[in-house]
Amino acid sequence: MNRKYKNPPIVEVVCGFKFNEETNWDATIPGLLHDKLKENFPRKEQRIIQELEIKQEQGNIQQYLRTTERILFFTEDQKMVIQVGPRLLVINALKPYPNWEKYKEYIKMGLDTLMEITEIKGIDNVNLRYINSIKLPRGEDIKEYFRLHISLSEKLLKNLASFIAIVEFSYFDDRDKCRVNFSFSLSRDEYILDIDYFLNQKGNLSISNTYEWLENAHNNIEEIFEEAITDKLRKVFEEVL
């Protein structure tokens, strides 16, 4: 594959690590990490983040709203961000996305530097997520642009205001999963293709295999993306041959 586009639809890429409880963590770690990264990430700020956590307990689905503090490091242009929370490291790339090799350098920079500061005992969860925003002229037949779509009659399509379709794919004997959230909003004239590849079996990944895992995640995300679109949409993105 390795297709390249002049106008790729990527608006954000996220790589997140959640480390296990045995990993030593204290309030000095974000500051120590920024000291080592400030040449590339000179800007720093603190934010309070609200997260919705969903758990299944005794057969019932329970929702919890958690509030956590995060320290954010920004590159000078604010297009690359590292977020640090309690046993949490997140690396965000904002539009314009450079490329996988360049983004991977930032992931490695953040994770390797953190491992210099504290011994990471294990990874509970990790994910790699690509969020794509695609705008098409109104009235276009979705089937001409996407091979991942919903099936509706022409009469229903005329009055379509929005939709959300979610599918999941399993990899490596269900160790990994990839959740694809495909949605449309008429008010924004926008299709969102959100591809989130994650560790499905908590803790089933060694530190030494992390970068191999990320390569597999990226390759599978790329494959899903290319299988989900048509050549007509590739022309919109202006494929570089």
Q: Residue 45's beta-bridge partner residues?
A: 72
CA-nearest of 143, 124, 142, 133 to 202 is 124
Q: What is the CB neighbour count within 10 angstroms for residue 117?
A: 16
Quote the CA–CA distance of 32 and 70 in Å, as a whole number.
Answer: 14
pLDDT digits (tens, 9 = 90+) for 175-199: 999 999 999 987 788 999 999 999 9
- The owner of tokens 């965000």 is 92
| pTM score | 0.91
Cα separation values, 191 from 1, 156, 176, 188, 235, Å: 23, 18, 26, 9, 16
Residue 78 pLDDT > 90: yes
Joined tokens for residue 175: 């160790």
Residue 6 pLDDT > 80: yes
Q: What is the CB neighbour count within 10 angstroms for residue 15?
A: 23
Q: What is the CB neighbour count within 10 angstroms for residue 206?
A: 11
* Side-chain-side CA neighbours of residue 202 (13 Å): 5
pLDDT digits (tens, 9 = 90+) for 89-134: 999 999 999 999 999 999 999 999 999 999 999 999 999 999 999 9
pLDDT digits (tens, 9 = 90+) for 156-179: 777 788 889 999 999 999 999 999
pLDDT classification of 59: cutoffs 50, 70, 90: low
